[in-house]
Amino acid sequence: MKVLRGLVARVPAADPAETVARLSERFRFETDCADVASDLSHGVGGFVVVDARSPEKFAAGHVPGAVNLPTRTITAESTKDLDPQTLHITYCSGPHCNGSTRAALRLAELGFRVKEMIGGFHHWRLDGHPVDQ
């Protein structure tokens, strides 16, 4: 009997130890809406949520307590009141947008500790988390 090898298995899976290393590393750079919402609802501090969208989109709705810092405005001057030792969680509109990646990169270039909130505001709303306006 001939075993067909499809597209999924065309490239063999990594060794489990390599998989653990790679996937564990992602958590150093990313968080998700559920974890951010849980920490916010339980009063867990130690991080600032940064909305990298435009002021208009921010005004229409945003993660509670988020600060609006549009990606294109991130400079040493615009971040002078932020603590580089505090973790900053960036988000943008959603998976179709790279604004949170650009914001995280820019903040990291300025010396800030950052993670991206995967899914962005789109998934925040889809998951039914509270929204401030």
Total residue count of the chain as it appears in this document:
133
Contact 107/91 with Cβ under 8 angstroms?
Answer: no
Answer yes or no: is 102 within a domain: yes
Domains: count for the chain = 1
pLDDT, residue 62, reads 98
Contact 81/42 with Cβ under 8 angstroms?
Answer: no
Answer yes or no: is 7 within a domain: no
Contact 130/64 with Cβ under 8 angstroms?
Answer: yes
Q: 53: helix, coil or strand?
A: coil
Answer yes or no: is 21 within a domain: no
What CATH number is attached to the domain comprising 108?
3.40.250.10
Q: Residues 41-73: pLDDT tens digits?
A: 999 999 999 999 999 999 999 999 999 999 999
- CA–CA separation, 95 vs 98, rounded Å? 7
pLDDT, residue 9, reads 84
33 is catalytic: no
Q: 75: helix, coil or strand?
A: coil
Model pTM score: 0.89
Of these residues, 66, 92, 103, 117, which one is catalytic?
92
Q: What are the structure tokens assigned to 62, written together?
A: 């945003």
Answer yes or no: is 4 within a domain: no
Domain with 107, as residue range(s), is 30-126
